[in-house]
Amino acid sequence: MTPSGAEFVRQVKSAVDEVDPTQVHEVLWDPDVAIIDVRESDEVAAGKLPGAVHVPRGFLESRIDGAVGDRAKRVVLYCASGNRSALAARTLKEDLGYERVESMTGGYTLWKDRGYEVDVPRSLTAEQRERYSRHILINEVGIDGQLKLIDSKVLLIGAGALGSPNALYLAAAGVGTLGIVDDDVVDLSNLQRQVVHGTATIGVPKVESAAQRINDLNPEVTVVQHQQRLEADTVLELFRQYDVIVDGTDNFPTRYLINDAAVRLGKPVVSAAILGFEAQLSVFDTAHDGPCYRCLFPTPPPAELAPSCGANGVLGVLPGTAGLLQATEVIKLIIEQGDSLRGRLLMYDALAAEMREVKVRRDPECPVCSRDPASISDEEMGVFPDYEAFCAAAG
């Protein structure tokens, strides 16, 4: 005879290992123990065990490996009362091969009754849950990753060809604050590739035009307009306000200024360059032992080897490709997932439909990143060379 639902749960609980909340409290912060909350999102929003990882029972099979990783690791599951966690424990042990799985007796209800501490996590509003629902479904993003995006501050240097796709897709992804640095106005010739702007904003400052489009796309994003050129005397004060710097410039003096300021402050720079049918992309992050821009280009190449887009042109869709790759790297840095392009240069040839990659190593003799920023005096910190003269001499 088929057992009733209650009888089936009793049979399952008798077959799995159970652990008392007191015992779980003793190992709450043990790095060798993974504590998994298998309740639904609305339950977790009201509170959870400190340090617990949320893996809803309905997504257990697809997400548990990302949450635990090692199937030999001790795993403690809990729900509201101990029933769902017992069923989940059986699944992990019998179907997925986890070796040390336990269900917490009495679940979250008994934990609270014992007076143990609880963590009431930040949550998303109903509108945010709908807007970012496809992100939340991704194990590597989820609610925690989305909250990191909402809390993040990204600075775009340039609201042109590369800045356009970055602005649109980072705003759509939910980056909370986007700063935009640009002193130019929208021109008709921009519209072939600078898709954040439109015919209606010709003659309007680019930072204002971009802000209008971003606010329409995602009103939750705070857009900070810096209608100015990037200058050596204000760059450090500006960069300190942001977590990630996106280099969308098209001239070497500004690129070197961005690099040198970011190295001094330990800020990551996601950099791209485009020309004709070709694009290059890398992440310069010396705070995590990566190389800087000067390790790759100690001096700028001669002008004939690196003409501007204004002189040689650029395929209109190419900055979209390169800019979206940049935006992807920015998001990965913010949510701390995946392998970034730190220490790698990605080269894309649109005509050949080919991508190549070369390693970029940190130069122990680099005049900028080989020096510990902590050793730079306050007087030196804000002093930068004349980059226009430096690039002119190299050219």
238 in a structural domain: yes
Residue 124 lies in a domain: no
Q: Phi-psi bin for 239: left (phi > 0), alpha (psi -120 to 50), beta?
A: alpha
pLDDT at 1 over 80: no
Question: Considering the chain, what is the average pLDDT of its residues?
Answer: 93
Could you tell me if residue 140 is inside a domain? no
Are 217 and 314 in a shared domain?
A: yes
Longest dimension (CA), the chain: 90
| Shared-domain flag, residues 192 and 83 | no
Question: Are 108 and 187 part of one and the same domain?
Answer: no
> Do 99 and 172 fall within a single domain?
no
Q: Residue 259: how many CB atoms within 10 A of its CB?
A: 24
Tell me, yes or no, whether 198 and 327 share the same domain: yes
- Tell me the C-alpha distance between 261 and 278, whole Å: 27
Question: Which residues, 6 or more positions from 154, have their beta carbon under 8 angstroms from its beta carbon?
Answer: 170, 175, 177, 178, 179, 242, 243, 244, 245, 246, 330, 334
Confidence tier at 114 by pLDDT (50, 70, 90): very high
C-alpha triplet 296, 299, 304: angle, nearest 5° = 105
Q: Are 203 and 249 spatial neighbours (Cβ–Cβ below 8 Å)?
A: no
Same domain for 156 and 109: no
295 as an active site residue: the answer is: no
Q: What share of the chain is helix, strand, coil (3-state, %, to 5)?
A: 45, 20, 40
Q: Give the helix/strand (H/E) hosting 222.
A: strand 222-226
Total tally of structural domains belonging to the chain = 2
**Could you tell me the residue range of the domain that residue 76 belongs to?**
5-113
User: pLDDT, tens digit, for every residue of 326-347?
Assistant: 999 999 999 999 999 999 999 9
174-215, pLDDT tens digit by residue? 999 999 999 999 999 999 999 999 999 999 999 999 999 999
Confidence of residue 303 (pLDDT cuts 50, 70, 90): low
Same domain? For 191 and 78 the reply is no
DSSP 113: H
Based on the fold, state whether residues 315 and 191 are members of the same structural domain: yes
At 212-271, the pLDDT tens digits run: 999 999 999 999 999 999 999 999 999 999 999 999 998 999 999 999 999 999 999 999
User: Residue 27's domain is classified under what CATH number?
Assistant: 3.40.250.10
Return the percentage of the chain with pLDDT > 90, whole number. Answer: 79
Are residues 294 and 158 part of one domain?
Answer: yes
The pLDDT confidence band at residue 69, using thresholds 50, 70 and 90, is confident
- Residue 208 belongs to domain with CATH number: 3.40.50.720
Q: Which of 86, 113, 140 is the last residue of a domain?
A: 113
The catalytic position among 79, 309, 366, 391 is: 309
Position of tokens 């992990």?
92
The answer as to whether 304 is a domain residue is yes
